[in-house]
Structure 1
Amino acid sequence: MYTALTDTVTDSLHPLLEQNWQRFEEKLNAVEGVSPELLTELTRVSVGSDFVSEQLSRSPVLLQDLLTSGDLHRSYEPDYYATALTQRLSGIDAENDLHRELRLFRNREQVRIIWRDLTRRADMRETTRDLSLMADACIDGALNWLYDSACERWGTPYGIGESGEKEQQRLVVMGMGKLGANELNLSSDIDLIFSFPENGQTDGEKKCLENQDFFIRVGKKLIQALDNMTVDGFVFRVDMRLRPFGSASPLAASFDAMEMYYQEQGRDWERYAMIKARIVAGDKQAGAQLMQRLRPFVYRKYIDFSAFESLREMKEMINREVRRKGREQNVKLGSGGIREVEFIAQAFQLIRGGRDSRLQQRELCNILPLLPDSVGMPQEAVDDLLNAYEFLRNAEHAIQAVADRQTQELPMDDKEQLRLAYSMGFEQWDAFYDQLEAHRANVRRHFADVIAPAEEQEEGQTENAAEEWLELWDGALNQEQGIIFLAEKGYDDAEAAYKQLVDLYRSRTVQMLQQIGMERLRAVLPTLLAEVSRTDNATETLSRVLTLVSAVLRRSAYLVLLAENPGALKQLVRLCSASEWFSEKLAKQPILLDELIDQRTLYTPPDKGQISNELRQQLLRIPEEDTEQLMEALRYFKNAVTLRVAASEITGALPLMKVSDYLTWTAEAVLNVVLEIAWRNLSEKHGVPMKSPGVPCDPNFIVVGYGKVGGIELSYGSDLDLVFVHNADPNLFTDGDKQIANSVFFTRLGQRIIHILNTFTPSGQLYEVDMRLRPSGNSGLLVSSLKAFTEYQKKEAWTWEHQALVRARVVAGDPTLQREFEAVRAEILESQRESGALKTEVVEMRQKMRDHLGSKNTQNTEKPVFHLKQDRGGIVDIEFMTQFNVLAYAHEHPSLTEFTDNIRILEGVEACGLMSADEAESLREAYISFRSVGHSLTLQGRSSEIADDELRESRDLVATSWDKMMLDA
């Protein structure tokens, strides 16, 4: 029997066919009704799917069941899965039995679906529909069983309906993405959102639960029922990160909370996601009401062309991810892939869906045919896209059918390539790949017509000009000729420039380059050298740019990026000319070159809300348990925003104060996410600490920023002065299986936060953390309770610690505890102090700092310098004066404690009549000048010292104010 079947496949696939055939050959002998047609199909399936072969070998009755029932060769009615699974689950008493029955059901139906897909008994749309219906049935069937079980244990949840009467509450499960659109692939995750109609509580006899708590517990059970891997496999991988606020939020939210979030917080990418949203399980009648309430967020009443820009940004984000992870051969995410077809359809849905209700559908194959009439898209384009989409989805299914594994990557192995081609109906890989490329080329072309921005048409160099630069590079010009050539082109120190190029050419890295790397280097050098020659400091700029080139030679894809994006190359040269810091940052992390491509975002950093949302959006794509990848993503995000801020400052698009705002907002966003990650890691292991008996922390923990981060004055490379405070009973324990004392939990939480921030990864360090300002400094506890912190500040803290408290501000954590901390801070700062003693202590501390940190330590007598921060008349003098005013007069003027930044404190000092308007303005101007010069020095890679004759007027004004305020009797 086997020998006859080998004639239907190429010789190269015979070993694979034989291997899988041997798995179930004995079982096949016992199957009745095996026809030649069935054997032909079995051959195709056994070559295309190791998963099906394994299932048939493990379950002798599976193939017989599929044949006897006729299910293998018929299309199901829409209600089949729900009916069949309901019967299967009837009489189940134990949760373990529920898990087993769900998995056995899924495995049987997955075999049937793969079989029908590979043999083309089902087309692509039937395959995706069946997978989605099966998912619906599994979610709903498991939920119904778990809901009933939960009601028996904790009572039935109730809320007050519109009639004023009690109404039973059920969970509403919203399916997102491919599940919502009835377009699941063979190994999709399912993206879910849980909601319930109203707050209330259960009617349990022994224990009542709040409705939210009840549904969170049910939701967790549902995820386990579907997602857990057992000996029988899994049902579906579940992803809950698309819910409002992502992983930081409760697992289930009320309808009111959902509506409020999308009205006030919803972002463009969430509009995009919500197009496909569908109620897949639970209370579908209530779910319909929820969808109606959310519809205005998705579909605008007006024609919304802003959707194009949003989708461009999302596509560029995906492109960056593709480039970083080398996914160019991904049939979903790669250029011309499935995602681009989806974006085309959804762009018009977002733009015109509010006006044209026909576009308010989820299924892509229903939307595309509407576009000629709705938006005037040529019919030929629609036909191309539909054909490409079907081919790409079939290829995706054939890839996933092999091992029931979530991947869309084209195989690299010859045997696997031939297997994929065979499953797609081709005898050879090249024939399949040619057709795939033809479809992808069509998608790329139509995507560019609809969404991709028009590329700037750059006038390239003439061929002769490029050849001149390459002659210099190749050594065709001798040293004298090369120096003359560089001088003619505009290099200010042509001899030094020539030496830099020769050193690079002779470097071991260049000499060991493979051919493709050398070709890429030669492709970009002429344009790069010509652009550098146009700068005012060409030789210095060349040194900086070549440092970056050296860093990326072994990763020459970055050279391609510059060669193919003249605008990005031009910005690189411009910014490296202005800043050594910029070139060093790119050399250390060249992946940031991506940020140079789009000038609209390069010189427009995101605002505070956008920073937080962009960060959370990027982290949504990373599994919560993958801490290493999360840490890398955090570092990339922080560096990318910092780069954009620096670019904006260098070009004058951002003033100094705004620069510090953006850098501080970035740190705050990162700290909030790091706290969430650390909290999740610990609470999953040990449970949640208890604030008081029976009351869990949520989280009753804050991160307090001191110094620059507290004063909203971060600069490039600033470290973070932090203090951790909690507000839970240290004698209580966590509520998990591996209980630990609250005090231990919070100490480990602090350690985990520091680890995530401080650890050096391939992308460097996130932030350097300084904890020395905590109570008792390095000898004190890492995390203090609010009570202990208060007692220390009242009874033991030194004056300099109260000075530091002036700039203290909660930057992450629990809002309730934040308010309590702010009250404590105000109480301490508003305490009445004896003015003379206070002044003496502040002056003595300032003198110690000058002695230890001032410029005299440079031993430079020939060229005296001025230290911007520490020398007399510098930044710290201004800071100490503002702190003195707060500590001396806040008991009379409580408003002085409101702000933590020096500029607004000085405004407050002026408003309270403690300083003249002219003096306050002079100090503010001096402070801004000093910090602006400091930023510029950082960007130029220099220390905080300037020539002794610079900024003399500002320094004298500060020194005069210091003497008048702090030294006069």
Structure 2
Amino acid sequence: MGRDAVADGSLWFGAPVKALTPADAEQAADALEMVLEAARDNECQRFGDLLAGGTALTDFLTAVFGLSPFLRDFARRNPQALEALFDTPLAARLDVLFEAIEQSAFEEGQSESGLMKALRDLKAEAHFLIAVGRLADAVDTALTTERLSLLADKCIRASVDFLLLDADRAGKLKLPDRANPSSGSGWIVLGMGKLGANELNFSSDIDLIVLVDPHAPAIPEPYEAVDLFVRLTRRLVRILQDRTEHGYVFRTDLRLRPDPGSTPLAIPVGAALHYYESRGQNWERAAMIKARPIAGDLAGGESFLKELQPYVWRKYLDYAAIADVHSIKRQIHAHKGHGEVAVKGHNVKLGRGGIREIEFFVQTQQLIAGGRFPELRGRRTVTMLAELARCGWIDDEARDALTHQYWFLRDVEHALQMVADEQTHTLPEEDDELERIAHMLGFDSAEAFAETFRESLRLVEQHYADLFETAPQLSRGVGNLVFTGDVDDPGTLETLSELGFERPSDMCRVIRGWHYGRYRATQSAEARERLTELTPALLEAFGGTRRADEALLRFDTFLAGLPAGIQLFSLLQSNPALLNMLVSIMGAAPRLAAIITRRPHVFDGLLDPALLSELPDRAYLAERLDTFLAGARIFEEILDRLRIFAAEQKFLIGIRLLTGVIDASRAGKAFSDLADLTVGSALDAVIDNFAERHGRIAGGRAAILGMGKLGSRELTAGSDIDLILLYDHDADADYSDGKKELAPSEYYARLTQRLIAAVSAPTAEGVLYELDLRLRPSGNKGPVATNIEAFARYQRNEAWTWEHMALTRARAVAGDPSLMERVEGEVGEILSLPRDAAKIRGEAAEMRRLLEEEKPARDIWDLKLVPGGLIDLEFIAQVAALTGNIEEQGEEATATGEVLSALSEGFCPPQVRQELVDAHALYMTLTQTTRLCLEGGFDPDEAPPGFADLLLRQTDLPELPVLAAHVEETAGRVRRHFEALIGPVEQD
């Protein structure tokens, strides 16, 4: 190939590169300059000359380095990786790297640390080349996922071979063939999920199940085999997962093994078979569809899967089994036609119309039909879509549409992850970041991408919902439903039982009450007629919630409180998505159900077709609040309107969280923005009302300093709010100028008391927020309003360490803009004061010990108090902020998750930092959802099954014991990090 082949990329990629344009031309030019300098410094002459030229390949690389900081930084560190492509094109170079990975286990004198470095270096180069090859459009998405999966396979196999040889040298094993250490070793490593299906994404975790055959030829002592292979599995995870100065290989997850909370990391084959055959769940059958032996004793792995076939592939499914498949489906909601989807912040994997909906449909169809149709037992999603169409389970249009959208959505997922090598599936909320993703995918603009993306989601959710409605053996007709007279109709009782109701006779009595017009909503003949037409759909929907009786009784209570019913019944009848949402609330969220029962008007907000397509950010909420308050002049009317607005918006933010439109972090920000705006409006109204009698203080200004979860923008649906009211005035101001004059200190104290009453006093519209002012200087003993000068003096000279820790979350949220600015400045200066880091850590550890002693955690689900829970994470973030261990950010962060993600490397190694961030995200997801849906804490034995399904969908885990094990494991890890970073929490 000549000069032209170099210029257009054919020499490297085997085909001309796709034209990419940078989102920011100046940024891309700077990135190119950085890489060019690195190429020259490393004597990569040909690569340097290419970058200095003006070819199509140069333009392509300029765009890539501008769009992806991760790929740019790799090219700066390793320009040799691209220099090598002049001699060995990309496909052949990947083969060389794969071979080198395989051989790394057999290097003479290879050590564990040497292997870890070799794997990290080789994986990094292969990872980079796979990404560049896809961005160049030299290979399709299917081959990209295959290559990523092969890369993981090779790294795992090399690690397993090394560990087996090491155990053989130590006399723990007697390998039949040291040249092929895995053969006959008895150590079986199964790849699960996307790895098992050869569909790995760019920054994916790898899911493994590790088994042991104690009777394999290599194992001299069967009774010691499990302990030996548990130790080897721990080392395997460390080799793959630990972040060193050379990076990491793959994050590794072993939670899909049977009963992960109580089983060893490596499980005997016999015990695993016994578990699956006696206690295995349908979700585990679904997971085993993708299982593939990828390392260790491959023959043993194939033998295990063959023995498991009758469990996975049942020839006959009884009614209960099909109903159980429905319960798997319920973990993902099939929304149909409920408005547009917000592109910003959308989760491309778990969100509406996302990747999981396509995968989920294929797997449930395989579970139902695979027992009788062996051709439906494949691991790959797209291959199985084709087989489902060939066997007549779906039509060709559905196959083609879902196949096309699957690969498109996988491309979006890869682009998101290629930016910074993060395991993210969520589209950015910032315009410039969304523009970056659009350009990586070859779109001219974010708007063009958004249009295509929305259409993709719409197609997927349409087919997803249609497929489940029309899938063979899944639809069931409703039998007798007769609710006239006083005697139960036997056919109706049978129908209700089949639908999932446990007390059909009691349910009949409830429904007869509707038709007798005992409620205001059912008093008119037309309302009763509409409700009669709606009843079959209602009963089928409630029957799908698993605890159908409870859900129906909640709906009955809701009906009892409705002032009228015709409009609602008509809407539910014509809008199945609204019906499904109402059923979700009744089945999964007793707290939300109680809210709409007490205040049915909040349900009106669900009728807005734009509900799920607009993010509830500050601008959105402010605009709606201004509209809602327009025309209100009387003080009491303003306060009532604020309560109505806050109640409705809390409910609607909650619905967005419930349906997966926003995640826990975005919900926390939205709840906090709502509090800022409504409490700020209440403050403005109180100031104006107070001035009518007491006038104003010369130069007087007031501002609210948000503390706790309000300050950190992590409020939940049921949070109280912590705040401090600060004020300032002219130095020579002695009294206010009103009819009843007051001295400044008394003026602002009484103003604050009036604010507390305005926000917290119950009116006909309820309470706006419960306020807590105990974090003010001197706590309950101090004045309720604090002069800014006194506040600054107290914080500098008298405040305890715990008060400065609390101040790290402080944020000026409302009031006079100039005073808010001054308050922010004071807080910043106070937090920047020099401190004795050892003293801060010691006092924080002692505070944690006292808290644990005085308020022990109720159980593992008490996420705030449990050792290794939210308090540990908050203390780590606060201590780091006070001791200057936070990396520079654009603006001062108060959110715990953001602070944890910015911990400096000197304070916290990158792997530990990532684990803390992941733990916080998990805890916030569970906390936000629990506070939204339940009145008290989460008790797995008492919570509605629909709520459990919701938690599992949000955490992408298959069942509660797996989630419990994950929480326990996470808490243990956080506590170990706490003690390493802060100090031991010693108990007497």
Provide TM-score, normalisation by structure 2: 0.48
Larger relative contact order (C-alpha < 8 A, sep ≥ 6)?
A: 2
Larger Rg: 1
